[in-house]
Amino acid sequence: MSNNGQFAIIGAGNQAFAWALNLRDSRFPFSVGIRKTSSAHTLLKDKKIPVFDLGESLRSYKSMALLIPDDQHAHFFENYSSFLEEGTQIIYAHSYSLVEDQLAQKYPQFEHVLLAPKSIGSQIRYNFERSRITPAVYSLDLVSKARQNQAQQEMEILCHALGFSLLAQVRVEDETIADLFSEQTLLCGFFPYIISECFQLLKDQGIDPTLSFLECWHESKLIIDTLVEKGPEEFFKLISPNALIGAHEASQVLIDENFKKKLSLIFEQIKNKDFNQKIKNTDYQELKNSTINFWKNTDLQKFYNQYSQELYPVT
C-alpha cells in the first residue's frame, strides 16, 4: 500500500463508494477501477473521484482494495491478473473468497491482506462524516514475515484515512466463519424473521396492527440502540420489573437445549464448508427474487411503508 497515488479501489458498489468518499475527503491519493462499460463512471466523476478503466492501467497500482462482490473475485483474477505486477497487494473486505476459492494459493505472486470493517457502506460513510470510528479487524496471515511490520504500518495509515479503528488481528478462517455465522443466525436470519412472526401473532390475536408494529418493529431499534450505548449490564439495570421478569421467563422457553443444538448445527455446517456447497448449488437471483417477493407481501412491510417516512425521515 502506498500513499503516493498508487492505491486503487476496485468496484463501485456501496462499500467501494463509501471507501472512495472517505479517502477523497482525507486527501489520500487513490483511484477507482471499474469496467469501461460501467454506468458508475458519471457518478464517480460527479463526486470528484478519479476513475480508470480496468485493464492495462492496473499496472500502475501497487496496492488495491478488491471491493466487488465475493463471487466475482475469482473472475477478477482470471481476467486481470496478467495486468498486475508481482508483489501487488490485494486487500479484501471479507475473507470468504480467500478461503473458498483459495486465491492466495492460486495467485501466490500477490500479497493478500484482509481488512474487514464491521459496518455496511452507508454506516461507514455516516460515521466518517460525524468523526465516529468504524470498527475493523484485519489479518496479515498471508503476508510474508519480512513484510509484516511494514504491512502493519501501511494498514494503519489507510485505516486512519478511512476512519477505521483496527480492533483485532484475526485469522482469515475465523473471520470467514464468524461473518457467515452471525449473518445466518442473528443479523439476517433471526432479527427480521422473528420480528415479523411476533408482529403477525399479535395482529392475528386481535391486537391493533399499528400498536403491534410499534411494539415489535419500532421498539426493536430502540432496544438495540440502548444495548449498544449502555451494554448488557446497564441495559438490564434500566428495564422495568415486568420486562426483566418476562425476559428471564421467555429466554428459558425459547433458548432451550434444542435451540442451542440448532445453533451448533449451523456453525458446523459453516465450519465444515457444507454451507459453501449450498451457495454453489443455489440460484442466487431466483432466491433473492422470491425472498423480496415474500417480504413485499408481508403485513410488516406494508406497515413499514405506511409509517417509515414519519418515523424514520431521511436526514
Domain membership of residue 274 as a residue range: 189-311
Q: 3-state DSSP: the chain helix, strand, coil percent, rounded to 5?
A: 65, 10, 25
Cα 51 to Cα 8, 46, 79: the distances in Å are 9, 11, 19
Residues 48 and 20 in one domain: yes
| Cell numbers at 313, concatenated | 425521515
Residue 271's SS3 state is helix
Rounded to the nearest integer, the mean pLDDT of the chain is 95
User: For the residues 70-89, what does the mean pLDDT come to?
Assistant: 96
Residue 3 has pLDDT above 50, yes or no: no
pLDDT digits (tens, 9 = 90+) for 194-247: 999 999 999 999 999 999 999 999 999 999 999 999 999 999 999 999 999 999
**pLDDT band at residue 171 using 50, 70 and 90 as cut-offs:** very high
Domain of 148, CATH number, reads 3.40.50.720
Alpha-carbon distance of 267 to 160, in angstroms, equals 34
Q: Long-range contacts made by residues 276-279, C-beta under 8 angstroms, separation at least 24?
A: 276/100
Q: Which residue's C-alpha cell is 449473518?
A: 183
Residues 202 and 127 in one domain: no
Residues 228 and 131 in one domain: no
Does this model's pTM top 0.75? My answer is yes
Residues 201 and 166 in one domain: no
Alpha-carbon distance of 258 to 37, in angstroms, equals 51
Alpha-carbon distance of 165 to 136, in angstroms, equals 6
Instruction: Out of 113, 141, 170, pick the residue that ends a domain.
Output: 170
Count up the domains in the chain and report the number: 2
Residues 130 and 45 in one domain: yes
Look at residue 141 and tell me if it is in a domain: yes
**pLDDT band at residue 315 using 50, 70 and 90 as cut-offs:** low
